[in-house]
Amino acid sequence: MAGMTLRPTNLFIEVDQKIAEVDPRVFGGFLEHMGRAIYEGVYDPTSRLADDAGCRTDVLEALRKLKMTAMRYPGGNFVSGYNWRDGVGPKGERPTRFDRAWFSKETNMFGTDEFLALSERMGWTPMMAVNLGNGSPTEAAALVSYCNSSQGSEMGDWRASNGHPAPYGISLWCLGNEMDGIWQIGHLNAKKYVEKAKEATRLMREVDPDIELVVCGSSDPMLPTYPAWDRSVLSGLGDEMNYLSVHRYARNFRRDTPQFLAFGLAVDKQIEELNRICLEVQHQSETGHRSFLSFDEWNVWYRHLSPFGWGQRAPHLLEETYNVEDALVVAGFLNSFIRHADVVKIANLSQAVNVVAPIRTRGDDILIQSIYYAFEMFSSRSEGEALKVSTDGPRYQTRKLGMATFADTSAILGDGVIHLFIVNRSVDESMALEIELQGATILNVLSADCLTGPSPKAKNTFARPNLVRSTSFDGFSVSSGSADATLPPLSLVAVSLSIVKAP
Ligand code: AHR
């Protein structure tokens, strides 16, 4: 019922109750050679908006504002059939190939050097995936060498002749993609994957001993091999792995908005289950080595599922149009990552442009989707240590995820500032919020933004591009060191509060 207000919610935060530093890489993204993510996405030399490198200036500008950190590339399923050598060297000599992952045409006009040049311009930390599908450990190591070896080596010289004399120094590498999935080119069982990944690890670290490695975890907790796969690969490789890859896509097939909005609880559960495995393996290890989680694919994805590109170049694949409830679920993922800052060290919104993405292009037009604003509200307030937030307020029963509080929250303590992120999961009731700190007092509001919309399904389109967006929120008032506000139904509010610590 519009106009109704929930019983008040109290947020209580002790500034000494720190979880961990929030790893900046948690605000990462993902660019796959798929659909129109690269071609007609970041790279479109035929566009009147292209720069000298053939990149879309409007897309780059929008991405820049998103402040994505680690950028995963080149896949995804694509990487399992990709020969990275096809994508380097003079463009006129690069072959066009049939991409078996997405049944599309890959022209190879954009490849490793173009991606790394773009990363440098954008300030992204490249997160490179090697092909452990139909690719070999030797070829994986050759790619590490192409990126990281000095001139004087075969690969270093080749890179130099392609225009980049200095090594790129890429430190983050994924050992394949979703190798547990039967859809994956070169899918393996856990034992065989461990053997292949072990060999790749040996050869890749022979080239560069300092690289950090991400091992494929389960692609989805619904798979029958979850979490046995994760336990097997970590037991087999744990001492050498820095991160276990985690993927999750939220779906709302049943059009059950209250349940969907509580999806962060499912994310919490998945993180906690996989972290238990990391800790078990650490406990059993002689070295005491601990792996952390790399949540390197996450988003809402369920309306456009077809993987068929019909042999076309840059086909329209997985082009989801995002609405208000999707944006709040995206916020729920980010809240969960911050609440688990001691465990989740990398996370990549899947993806960045056109394919399940916050940004869409159409010809020379660009559309900023609802989830863009949710991500931006977090990534512009991301520095500091995650704090525990105790939430005392009304709750509701979900169909499958148990009881959920209407308020879904996380907090980050920066230098003289607390950033708070609150989702009001109620579709039709406002939320009266009281924020109290222990160990500090709130001085004033530095900034606050709100994302909401007229209904859960409201979305931006090229015809109505600004229906759902974040706007500045002036609903907070501060008195006697505490703050309160009334949040609209179905909203995400992010607030930065200036604080002074108690002596
Ligand atoms: O992001 C789209 C696809 O989803 C990725 O290629 C794959 O890793 C996942 O299944």
Q: How far is the CA of 162 from the centre of ligand 1 (A)?
A: 30
Chunked mean pLDDT (size 10), the chain, 503 residues: 80 97 98 98 97 98 98 98 98 98 98 98 98 98 98 98 98 98 98 98 98 98 98 94 98 97 98 98 95 98 93 96 98 98 98 98 97 98 98 96 98 98 97 97 98 97 97 97 97 98 87
Q: How far is the CA of 77 from the centre of ligand 1 (A)?
A: 6
Q: Residue ranges of the domains in the chain?
A: 5-17+386-501, 23-249+288-317+341-370
How many CB atoms within 10 Å of residue 226? 18
| Contact by Cβ (8 Å): 270, 319 | no
| Contact by Cβ (8 Å): 174, 128 | yes
Q: How far is the CA of 229 from the centre of ligand 1 (A)?
A: 18
Ligand 1 atom nearest the C-alpha of 183 is 10
Closest CA to 382 of 429, 414, 360: 414
Closest CA to 495 of 451, 424, 445: 445
- Hey, what's the torsion of the CAs at 271, 122, 423, 2, to 10 degrees? -140
pLDDT score of 56: 98
Which residue puts its alpha carbon closest to atom 2 of ligand 1? 76
| Contact by Cβ (8 Å): 50, 44 | yes
31, 32, 78: residue to mutate for ligand 1 pocket, most atoms within 8 A of CB: 32
Structure token pair of residue 375: 């991500």
Distance CA 377, CA 101 (A): 34
Distance CA 297, CA 78 (A): 14
Residue 286: active-site member:
no
- Hey, what's the torsion of the CAs at 139, 145, 146, 147, to 10 degrees? 120
5-17+386-501 and 23-249+288-317+341-370 agree in CATH topology: no
DSSP 162-182: TT--S-----EEEE-S-TT-T
Q: Which CATH architecture is the domain 5-17+386-501 placed in?
A: Sandwich (2.60)
Residue 178: active-site member:
yes
DSSP 313-353: BS---S-PPPBHHHHHHHHHHHHHHHHTTTTEEEEEES-SB
38, 73, 218, 297: residue to mutate for ligand 1 pocket, most atoms within 8 A of CB: 297
Q: How far is the CA of 383 from the centre of ligand 1 (A)?
A: 29
**Phi, psi (5° rounding) for residue 202?**
-60, -50
Catalytic hit among 297, 320, 325, 429: 297
Distance CA 179, CA 467 (A): 40
| Contact by Cβ (8 Å): 484, 433 | yes
CATH topology of domain 23-249+288-317+341-370: TIM Barrel (3.20.20)
